[in-house]
Each structure stands twice: as structure tokens, then as C-alpha cells.
Structure 1
Amino acid sequence: MSEPNATPSAVQSPDLSPIAPGETTAGSLPDSEVIELPPDFVLPTGLAAISILFLAWNLLAALALAAFSAFLTLQAATLRLLFTATALDIYRGDKLIRRFPYQDWENWDIFWYYLPTLFYFKEVKSLHFLPILFDPKLLRACLEAKQLPKRRAWQ
């Protein structure tokens, strides 16, 4: 996957049981595998449900939440996150749109543990916040398996 627009090959989706913080060891996921995170529609579905509840109070807020939910659903359906041996790659369809080499990562976190909605990571030059549109347990397992430094943003 040295070419920026290369199509991923040999993508694996390992079967993982529920993972609590600190439960995953570096040996849980092989370093040589390319792991694609499956989409998770919990966040967009939850926002759609909340937008229905908002219909009783504020139509404009309900429409805004419904539009945001539709946007997140589209993103979850079209974006793909792949953990490779050297980087986190983000694809839209078969086109690589961004590569984040692990060597540039300073720390990461998933907010909030019981209701994962936001994935944060900091590179040497920038911060990134991504909504959790992918399997949060597999995301945590991949991050811990790569032994990337984890630090809570508020500490």
C-alpha cells in the first residue's frame, strides 16, 4: 500500500469479543494484517431517534438533527478505516483520502467509554476528532495492539 490511491488487499476483520480498557494485549492482533473497521450506525441512528423526539418541541432543531444524522449515515456507509502495519488509512470507496502514520501520533482517546461517540488522536502537527462511525471495540483493540500512546485529553 505504498501508492496513495492503492486499493487495499487482504483486508481482515478478526472476530473479537467485548473489550474493556486495558484488556487487549499487543499480541491480540497481528502487526502484519490490514484490518478494516466495519461501519457502526449506532451514533447516526441515535441522533435520528433524538430528532424524532425533538419534533414535539422544536421543528427546526429536529430537522437539523435529522440532517446531521443523514450526513453521518452517509459517512459511515462510504468511509473505510484501515489499520495497516505503518498507518491508519482512510478510504472513500477505493480511493485513499488520508494516511496517518503511527510514528507521528502523540496520543489518542475514545470519548466516552460507556457510549463511544468521539475518537480523538493527536499527531505531531495537528489534532483530529472523528465521530465513532465504526466498531468502537475493534477500534480500541487496533489502537492498543499498535501500542500507540494513550492519554486522556483532560489529564
Structure 2
Amino acid sequence: MSYVFVSGRREEIGKLSAFRTSFGGQVLCNPSFCGTQLAINNHGNRLVVNSLLGRRVKTRTRETVVPEPDYRIPIVLLGVAGGLAYTENLVPAVPVGLLGLLLLVQATRVRFVFDDEALEVRIGDQLEESGENAFVGGKNRWKYSTFVNWEFWWPNFPILVYFKETQTKPEGQIHFFPIIFNGKQLYDVMVERAGPSKTSGPKES
């Protein structure tokens, strides 16, 4: 850290505002042209200039969270389908079994990625981009600042997560996802990044 003592005298040279130092009248570079950040404090008739040239300013960023997959819902559905098939109720057994199989596959590949500013849906352990949303269009990435509300059905044994955001369209876009992730991890990070939900809790103080 370097300190340079300069007098309070200031000259206007066109658009360049310059300070003349008390060391032989040398002109210091204007901060807007130097690309350096200056902290200036008054000390009587002098100014103390704290140069931060060459330093990186650290900003607070939150860690990226990827909730672990959870296979309970697909397993329950497949179990129900097996029970229906055992009792020869094949008509309901087929769609329930197909849904369970679909969710089982999705649980192995779909990931919710919560970075510092947004929730994004990505694919696989390599977190590849999921592309355009097949139903409403646009990228599967939504900033927390656009969230209007979100809910869990049901918090004790979460089945679905719902959220409404205004990024896709100003009047609000609703999204539903089966909870094929660790419910507690998902709930905790939603509260942290998007704020409390209206009915799932925790309540705002």
C-alpha cells in the first residue's frame, strides 16, 4: 500500500482534473484515466491518497449448491405399479409404472444448480446445459430476483416444487417440477436464495 501526500490545490485542464503534488509540482493522473481506485481522506490542508493499483477487489459470492438426487418418488411409483399389476389392474398399472420409470431416469440425469444469482436446470454429473425450455421457451435459468413465490407439496414428504417467476414473461410464469432431489437440501437452498415461501415456511418475521 502506498501513500502520496498532495496539496489541496486543483487545476482544471480541459476535461482532465489534475492534482499538483507538494513534491516539485508533479501532476498526478486523474482517477478516471488511471484505472485505479483511490480512497481520499481530508487531513487539514492535505489529502491522503491510498492507491489500490494492481489489487483485486473481493466481492461476496455464495457457493454453488447442487442438491443430491432422491429416488424415493420413482421407487414408490414403481412399487404401486407392481402392486396394481399383481392384482391384475393392468390399466392403471401401466401409466403409473411408466411415470415411475421416467422419474427414475430423470433423477439420474437432471440437476438443479443454484449459483450466486440464479437457479438453472442442467444435465448429468458434468452439468451440461439443458437447452431451451420445451414448454415455455427460453433458457432453463431463472434469477432469484424474479421469483414471485414458491411452494413445496408436501414439505414433510415433498412431491412437487412450484415456483412463479417474471423473467420468462412479465405477468409471471409458473413452473412445476417433481422433487427428485434431496428435499431438505432443496428446501434449505430455496429459502436462502429465494426467500421464505408463503405457505411452506419458514414464515417471514
Please report the TM-score for the alignment, with normalisation by the length of structure 2. 0.57
Task: Give the Å deviation of 1:80.
Answer: 0.8
Q: Which moved more, 1:144-153 or 1:62-71?
A: 144-153
**Count of aligned pairs:** 124
| Larger strand proportion of the pair | 2
CA distance in 2, matches of 1:54, 1:96: 35
Aligned-residue sequence identity (percent) comes to 28
Partner of 2:173: 126
Q: How does 1:39-54 map to 2 (within 5 A)?
A: 39-54=69-84
**Which structure would you say has the larger RCO, counting Cα contacts within 8 Å and 6 or more residues apart?**
1
- Which of structures 1 and 2 has the bigger CA Rg? 2
CA distance in 2, matches of 1:111, 1:31: 30
| One-letter amino acid of the structure 2 residue matched with residue 95 of structure 1 | E
Task: Give the Å deviation of 1:76.
Answer: 0.8
List per-residue Cα deviations over 1:28-86 (Å, max 9, x = no partner). Answer: xx951001111100000000011111111411211111111010011111111111110
8 Å Cα contact 2:117-2:144 kept in structure 1? yes
CA distance in 1, matches of 2:141, 2:98: 28
- 1:92 corresponds to 2:123: yes
| Larger helix proportion of the pair | 1
CA distance in 2, matches of 1:89, 1:59: 38
CA distance in 2, matches of 1:57, 1:127: 38
Q: CA RMSD of the aligned region, Å?
A: 1.8
| One-letter amino acid of the structure 1 residue matched with residue 150 of structure 2 | W
Please report the TM-score for the alignment, with normalisation by the length of structure 1. 0.74
Unpaired runs of at least 5, structure 2:
1-59, 132-139, 167-171, 201-205
- 1:69 corresponds to 2:100: yes
8 Å Cα contact 2:68-2:181 kept in structure 1? yes
| One-letter amino acid of the structure 2 residue matched with residue 131 of structure 1 | P
Off by >6 Å, runs of 4+ in structure 1: none
CA distance in 2, matches of 1:31, 1:77: 29
